[in-house]
Chain A
Amino acid sequence: MALLSLDNLAMYYALESEWVKAVDGISLSLDRGETVGIVGESGCGKTSLILSILRLLPENARFVGGRIVFDGMDLLKLPEQQMRRLRWRRISMIFQNAMNALNPVFRVGDQVAEALMAHEELSKREAETKVSSLFELVGLPGSRMNNYPHEFSGGMKQRAIIAMSLVCNPDLIIADEPTTALDVVVQDQVLRQIKEMQQERDFAMIVVSHDMSVIAETCEKVAVMYSGRVIEQGNSVSLFHDPRHPYTMGLLSSFPTLRGEKKRLSSIEGSPPDLSSLPEGCLFQPRCPYAKTICEKRPAMMDLGGQHFSECHFADDPQLRKTKLWGR
């Protein structure tokens, strides 16, 4: 049984006169110890999706359909009290901006210990010992526990956040753009740290990023989000080597690489639809160079075998793969 499965999940924000369909029918599953990457551009609903899992949404958010099943429990039916106990103990997070995720007026160590003591009957002393050894594990001197966040550098804060996410030994860690704010060398170190921790502790992970390279290097499975939906998903090797959705193909040909041959890049013209007035047909159709009349209809998720799915009418059409869609 999957550790986490989202089943046709839909979460909208209620504005005064309209719905913003931030998550609009997403299905996704994740096994123990597995890492899935969610990739998408700003405004595609990826942050809303992960906050839905933890039920940490603003008050105007409404779940309008679907289920979130975690370890057999339907999270949307769980009373708030139990949901709160589940947070961090079972599902923890690594935040995008470590600077802002740490409260500036408390010691870093205390903030890590706080998460532990909220869920386990421990004395302050015991908690501190545990935090200290965790600090050493992520490569921070244990004595640094007593420092305040402003005394940490960016990379150190991100390490502290990693330590914090591990403190209750969760089954699942959600990492929201874990390295976006960091320089490339530190990013590399942090990503490696996360990977090492995962090998040691064997937790499952959801990594959210706009950076295809980060996803490619860290995740076994990838889901590509566009306008509140997952439009393609599969294991990362097949998705990166054989994308079956014009959007994914476009994304992959839109950024340069440091290694390998130099190719002319192409961009995806236009912009994603407004989440409060989505088009009737395929969401990507207005920007798609391959669009045909059939695309006026919303495509169904097509199973391409080998756990590879794509929401394109032509996903199994060999012609799509042969056509050079992007780049003049």
Chain B
Amino acid sequence: MQPRQGSNPLIDVRKLKKYFPVRVTGLQRFSLRREGQRFVKAVDDVSFQISRGEIFALAGESGCGKTTTGKLLSLLETPSSGSIIYEGEDLANMKGRRMKHCRRRIQMIFQDPYESLDPRFTVMRTLLEPLLVHNIGTHSERNELVSSILEKVGLRPPRDFLMRYPHELSGGQRQRIAVARAMILNPTFIVADEPVSMLDVSVRAGILNLMLQFREELGITYLFITHDLAVARYMSNKIVIMYLGRMVEMGSTDEVLAQPIHFYTKLLMSAVPTPDPSAGRVRIKGISEVADPVNIPSGCSFHPRCQGRQEICAQLIPEMVDVGKGHLVACHKA
């Protein structure tokens, strides 16, 4: 599963930023003291490239900006600054027909299959909608397409599922419908945001293997967002670890997870439990919790929790440094 690192990547993300203004809520609205507008730096200066046919994992704890990055790449949010070059075009601030065209090529799979299907739509209608939006095929061709995609996602025979409503399906089946909806437009790139974390353990593998199968057969490229490093290891060939909106480590998945360099990556990995009662594991004592995203610490945002912190860490934001073989780390000690 070596990434076929082409000279021109499918997606080239450059210095991507997304700041959300902090909305004052409730009674604070009436405050006489107006402090300067504050921002949550959900995504801050993120750059990476995704090659064709690659599964690119974004991993980190909640609030690290991975979901926002996914939304930016699937055109559901517009970046504050930076660019996302997709097939030579900048997705940032794209509008109208070109945006619609790109949306056909870029699809999304959401975390919660109980949320991502319209409860009032039958499976048939859910799957027809994208075809109708893009005016694809005749009536019978569309029906044909729907049946064949159901077949492909393993819901056989399709006619048993066409007229069902989401509440008549199990979690795994729903997520297969969600995959089918993403696949029916024949996309090149799919953003999958925690596609299995809400599913029961026993059906997770089915969805993961289905996605792998589409990659092998159709060359689909994925951005795979997950908080679970084990799942990232299983799925991806490249990985980025994010912390408070910034990238802290990037490289081939095997390399990063075998030889993590950033203290945060090490901390994350050491915290993952092992399904083996007799295997002891070395735990790094974590220090406190993730900082408030509105008040991100100065310098390296991880420094208050970092065991290897030095004086410089509180002052200067570390740059991503290549430590060899495309393995990049944002740490002053690297």
A interface with B by C-beta (< 8 Å) = 41-42, 153-156, 183-189, 191-192, 210-214, 216-217, 219, 236-237, 240-241, 250-259, 262, 264-269, 271
Cβ contacts under 8 Å, B57 to chain A = none
Q: Which B residue sits closest to A271, measured CB to CB?
A: B170
On whether the beta carbons of B277 and A216 are closer than 8 Å, the reply is yes
Task: Tell me how many residue pairs across A and B have CB atoms closer than 8 Å.
Answer: 124
CB of B289 within 8 A of chain A? yes
CB of B203 within 8 A of chain A? yes
Partner of B274, one of A156, A183, A259, A269: A259
On whether the beta carbons of A266 and B205 are closer than 8 Å, the reply is yes
On whether the beta carbons of A255 and B230 are closer than 8 Å, the reply is yes
Partner of A42, one of B200, B204, B274: B200
B interface with A by C-beta (< 8 Å) = 61-62, 170-173, 200-209, 227-231, 233-234, 257, 267-279, 281, 283, 286, 289-290
6 A-B pairs closest in CB distance: A267-B206, A265-B205, A256-B234, A188-B271, A213-B273, A267-B205
Q: Which B residue sits closest to A263, measured CB to CB?
A: B234
Cβ contacts under 8 Å, B207 to chain A = 267
On whether the beta carbons of A184 and B202 are closer than 8 Å, the reply is no
B169 to chain A minimum Cβ distance, whole angstroms, is 9
| Residues of B contacting A: mostly | helix
Cβ contacts under 8 Å, B172 to chain A = 267, 271
Complex Cα distance, B234 from A216, in Å, reads 21
On whether the beta carbons of B201 and A41 are closer than 8 Å, the reply is yes
Complex Cα distance, B298 from A85, in Å, reads 51
B260 to chain A minimum Cβ distance, whole angstroms, is 11
Complex Cα distance, B268 from A189, in Å, reads 12
B23 to chain A minimum Cβ distance, whole angstroms, is 17
On whether the beta carbons of A192 and B283 are closer than 8 Å, the reply is yes
B182 to chain A minimum Cβ distance, whole angstroms, is 19
Partner of A216, one of B273, B289, B290: B273
A45 to chain B minimum Cβ distance, whole angstroms, is 14
On whether the beta carbons of B278 and A262 are closer than 8 Å, the reply is no
Cβ contacts under 8 Å, A271 to chain B = 170, 172-173, 203
Complex Cα distance, B290 from A220, in Å, reads 32
Cβ contacts under 8 Å, A256 to chain B = 208, 230-231, 233-234
